[in-house]
Amino acid sequence: MMKFGVHVSKAGGLNKALQDAISLKCDTIQMFAGSPRSLRKSIINEDEALAFRRGLDQEHIRPLVIHAPYLLNLASPKETTYELSTRALSEEIIRSLSLGADYLVFHPGNHLGSGIEAGTQRIAAAITKACDMAGLTRKCGLLLLLEMVSGAGTEVGWMFDHQRAIMDMAEEAPLGICLDTCHMFAAGHDIATREGLAGTLEQLDRILGISSVGVVHANDSVGALGSRLDRHADIGQGMIGEEGFRVILGNSKLREVPFVLETPKKNLEDDKRNLAAIRRLAREAVTW
């Protein structure tokens, strides 16, 4: 059975997030542990966290994925931003551990003109430092996932080679990757056709290994193939389309990986509709 879930809001508290996940019949969920648009510290209440973890276990909602704030820039050549981002990542790791999360997803960063190579070096050093600060080792059970991004502006992490370089340099850190169907399509990986997806996965396997993939973010794309535009669309309603999702969902290598939706939403009905769409397309998909 494939696992599907959505990014749930934590704005109403952890229990509300859990109740939303249950009402949507999520197999897995993603959420922000703190505030998505600020690097301010937010403390997690221990009792609330414990109840949340018990609830997830009872409902068999796993894995729990945490998405780091968007403001993090581990590739920044500016010293203050870099230090702030490194510390914010370590705090995010601590919050993820106290929530019992399986994965912490983050965007590698923006090099702001210093170049991909300098960017990947900064990112790897920041990850190593953040793991040290938070005391994160491979034994902790939390995996950090470098998200594949669309390559807008000076983003690092839209080619598998970028993640490879980071992983090689941050060799002590427990690292994996998070695919994002919208980002990858926008970055120029033609994942909407069998030939294109087979080629992309062959590349992924050769450079990083298929087993490094912890989570897939399932989003349709407003932008065309190679547009570098990071704008998510409802499942089946963008440039990947229903047939593209049938191709993706039918692939036997991806069927083992949990799919989390980050589709546009104003309320739970939007999530409900997109979840129904992706589950239907998974049933219609021909396994290959």
Looking at beta carbons only, is 91 or 147 nearer to Zn ion?
147
Min dist. Cβ of residue 75 to Zn ion (A): 15
Residues 14, 259, 245, 182, Cα dihedral to 10°? 70
> Judged by CB under 5 A, which stretch of 89-97, 140-148, 206-214, 266-274 contacts Zn ion?
140-148
DSSP 107-145: --EE-TTS-HHHHHHHHHHHHHHHHHHHT--GGGS-EEE
Q: How far apart are CA 230 and CA 43, in angstroms?
A: 30
**Number of residues counted as binding Zn ion (CB under 5 A):** 3
Looking at beta carbons only, is 46 or 215 nearer to Zn ion?
215
> Judged by CB under 5 A, which stretch of 26-34, 53-61, 113-121, 172-180 contacts Zn ion?
172-180
Position among 164, 217, 246, 265 found at the interface with Zn ion (CB under 5 A): 217
Q: Which residues of 21-45 are buried (b: 16+ CB within 10 A; e: fewer)?
A: beebebbbbbbbbbebeebeeeebe
Residue carrying structure tokens 């403001």:
71
Q: How far apart are CA 193 and CA 4, in angstroms?
A: 22
Looking at beta carbons only, is 91 or 180 nearer to Zn ion?
180
Min dist. Cβ of residue 11 to Zn ion (A): 18
Looking at beta carbons only, is 56 or 184 nearer to Zn ion?
184
Position among 155, 180, 220, 230 found at the interface with Zn ion (CB under 5 A): 180
Q: How far apart are CA 162 and CA 110, in angstroms?
A: 12
> Judged by CB under 5 A, which stretch of 52-60, 119-127, 179-187, 222-230 contacts Zn ion?
179-187
CB-nearest residue to Zn ion: 217
Min dist. Cβ of residue 151 to Zn ion (A): 13
> Judged by CB under 5 A, which stretch of 9-17, 43-51, 123-131, 145-153 contacts Zn ion?
145-153
Q: How far apart are CA 258 and CA 45, in angstroms?
A: 28
Q: How far apart are CA 152 and CA 114, in angstroms?
A: 15
User: What residues line the site for Zn ion (CB under 5 A)?
Assistant: 147, 180, 217
